[in-house]
Homo-oligomer: A and B are copies of this chain.
Amino acid sequence: MSRTEGEVLAAIEKRRRRPHYKLMDEMITLSHGAGGRSSHVLVETLFARAFENPLLAPLADAAVLEVGSERLAFSTDAFVVKPLVFPGGDIGDLAVNGTINDLAMAGAVPLALSAAFVIEEGFPTKDLAAIAESMGEAAAAAGVPIATGDTKVVERGGADGLFICSTGVGRIPDGVVLGAQRIRPGDRVIVSGTIGDHGMAVMVARGDLELEVDLESDTAALHEVAAALLGAAGEGVRCMRDPTRGGVATVLNELAMAAEVGITIDEDALPVRPQTMGACEILGIDPLYVANEGKLLAIVAPGVADELLALLRAHPLGADAAIIGEVRPEPPGMVILNTSFGGSRVVDMLAGDPLPRIC
């Protein structure tokens, strides 16, 4: 997929001419839930307009609420992963860790979670109990209580087993300011470990591929790692994101667009497990677009990058951390991959949904 410089420039021009918002489709498709371009169009043209208010406007993973002298992070997720149980986790710990991570990426100390269940009539009680146990254990391990909940049941055929919505509230410590607006040319892009493991583990668990690969989801709560980065580098951490649906490629595109900078990443620097890469190759999917559930991307000032990399590598959740790229002034709003073969190509946001119901 390497291209000449001329081809890359042509791709950049083509991308620039594309209208930012396409007309909406008449019906909702799986790609509207995939976290990529269609999701963005849906959120920006439909929900953001209908709900218009200053708190929602940043469209970040967590909103920031001011209550008295406190700043709170507030974030919600719906989980529809299929199958409900997969190597390395299940929908329960995924919901707990996923919402903790959204709060952590806002720089918040998670305070409490809520959990709402939509259950299909006939769902085995013992399976529900196992998933609830898994949630309870993940919450206890993270030190974040599930403080409130709700349960609804729909008739057989009205839902596919079980969906969980988790919402979290966290406290943002004084002095913590994170956001794409703080990104500057020269900043480094760090990923906390191997990419694509969650999405590929779920795909393999689904059994459609008839693959036997030893792959586990990376589901994990990142609030302690995130706090360690902020504690070590303070304002040197510009922005953090967890690359879930849409993967690293989509998150970096969002950041590049929001900050109006270019982001260059090096294919050789991307940490990918061989078995994840193997599964990706069989499916024809680029691991840059595959969901992670226990990894963070941090955009950091160049002067602190090596220190933060060492800090991550010393942590069990960051052993495979790597500096994968750099922020450039050009081309604004775009992500460019320097390939292993010495070429470069534009890395766009996820289009379509190659991996439905991955989280």
Copies assembled: 2
Q: Once the chains bind, are B136 and A78 in contact (CB under 8 Å)?
A: no
Asked whether any CB of chain B lies closer than 8 Å to the CB of A112, the reply is yes
B residues less than 8 Å from A128 (CB atoms): 28, 46
Chain A contacts with B in 44-69, Cβ cutoff 8 A: 46-47, 50-56, 60-63, 65, 67-69
Q: Once the chains bind, are A151 and B39 in contact (CB under 8 Å)?
A: yes
Asked whether any CB of chain B lies closer than 8 Å to the CB of A339, the reply is no
Q: Once the chains bind, are A124 and B47 in contact (CB under 8 Å)?
A: no
Chain A contacts with B in 117-161, Cβ cutoff 8 A: 117-126, 128-129, 132-133, 135-136, 139, 145-155, 157-160
Given contacts A51-B145, A119-B28, contact A114 B76 (CB under 8 A): yes
Q: Once the chains bind, are A148 and B46 in contact (CB under 8 Å)?
A: no
B residues less than 8 Å from A155 (CB atoms): 30, 356-357
Chain B residue nearest to A39 in the complex (CB): B151
B residues less than 8 Å from A50 (CB atoms): 129, 132-133, 135-136
B residues less than 8 Å from A79 (CB atoms): 152
Q: Once the chains bind, are A125 and B67 in contact (CB under 8 Å)?
A: no
Q: Once the chains bind, are A145 and B55 in contact (CB under 8 Å)?
A: yes
- Total chain A interface residues with beta-carbon distance under 8 A: 85
B residues less than 8 Å from A29 (CB atoms): 121-122, 153
Chain B residue nearest to A158 in the complex (CB): B160
B residues less than 8 Å from A61 (CB atoms): 148
Q: Once the chains bind, are B67 and A111 in contact (CB under 8 Å)?
A: yes
Question: How many angstroms from the CA of A119 to the CA of B117 in the assembled complex?
Answer: 15
Asked whether any CB of chain B lies closer than 8 Å to the CB of A233, the reply is no
B residues less than 8 Å from A136 (CB atoms): 50-52
Instruction: Looking at the assembled complex, report how far the CB atom of A121 sits from the nearest CB atom of chain B, in whole angstroms.
Output: 6
Q: Once the chains bind, are A27 and B149 in contact (CB under 8 Å)?
A: no
Residue from B77, B114, B123 within 8 A of A74 (CB atoms): B114
Chain A contacts with B in 286-302, Cβ cutoff 8 A: none
Asked whether any CB of chain B lies closer than 8 Å to the CB of A279, the reply is no
Asked whether any CB of chain B lies closer than 8 Å to the CB of A85, the reply is no
Chain B residue nearest to A130 in the complex (CB): B50
Q: Once the chains bind, are B160 and A76 in contact (CB under 8 Å)?
A: no
B residues less than 8 Å from A24 (CB atoms): 125
Given contacts A153-B28, A163-B163, contact A147 B53 (CB under 8 A): yes
Q: Once the chains bind, are B153 and A33 in contact (CB under 8 Å)?
A: yes
Residues of A within 8 A of B (CB): 24-34, 39, 42-43, 46-47, 50-56, 60-63, 65, 67-70, 72, 74-80, 111-112, 114-126, 128-129, 132-133, 135-136, 139, 145-155, 157-160, 163, 165, 167, 169, 171, 353, 356-357
13 additional contacts (CB under 8 A) given A30-B121, A158-B160: A28-B119, A34-B153, A56-B146, A67-B171, A74-B148, A78-B150, A78-B151, A80-B118, A80-B158, A80-B159, A118-B165, A154-B357, A159-B163
Counting from the closest, the 3 A-B pairs by CB-CB distance are A33-B153, A165-B165, A63-B147
